[in-house]
Amino acid sequence: MTEKEFESLLKARTKSLEYLRTLDLNFLKNHRRDDTEILNRFEKFREASFRALQLFDDQITLYASHFQSHPLSSATKMFLQKEHQNQELLVKELIQLDQDVMKKIEAINIDILRDLKASEKNRATLSKFKSTNQGISGEELDQSL
């Protein structure tokens, strides 16, 4: 592998991190509590992005070992430092965005649980007013009154 191919691989990894950031931002901006489909799509795209990142990391590790025995040019070393700093900033931003996503999902879960409890309470209240003579038809009930 040439130094340029290695640089391209690192750029592709950076683009994957940027894509993850875009996914998080779009989810935070567009998700509504009643839209479960966007959460499903978000999870699928995130899983695919993490798989791609893992592949990039595997390739980078493989090629980095190759460059241990072959010295890198100073231009490539500078590029690596810049790219590493850029990726480090992206990862820090992703950690914060992921925390925001988790908070949003948690808030949605709390809202759903609150709605379920309210629904159960309403159902219990309504069941108090139902007739206990369920086996009797309405006609028989009228006669007994």
Mean pLDDT score of the chain: 85
Q: Does residue 131 have a pLDDT over 60? A: no
Q: Does residue 56 have a pLDDT over 70? A: yes
* Structural domain spans, the chain: 3-129
Average pLDDT over residues 91-110: 92
Q: Does residue 144 have a pLDDT over 80? A: no
Whole-number Cα distances in Å, 105 to 23, 40, 99, 100: 15, 12, 10, 9
Q: Does residue 2 have a pLDDT over 90? A: no
Q: Does residue 135 have a pLDDT over 60? A: no
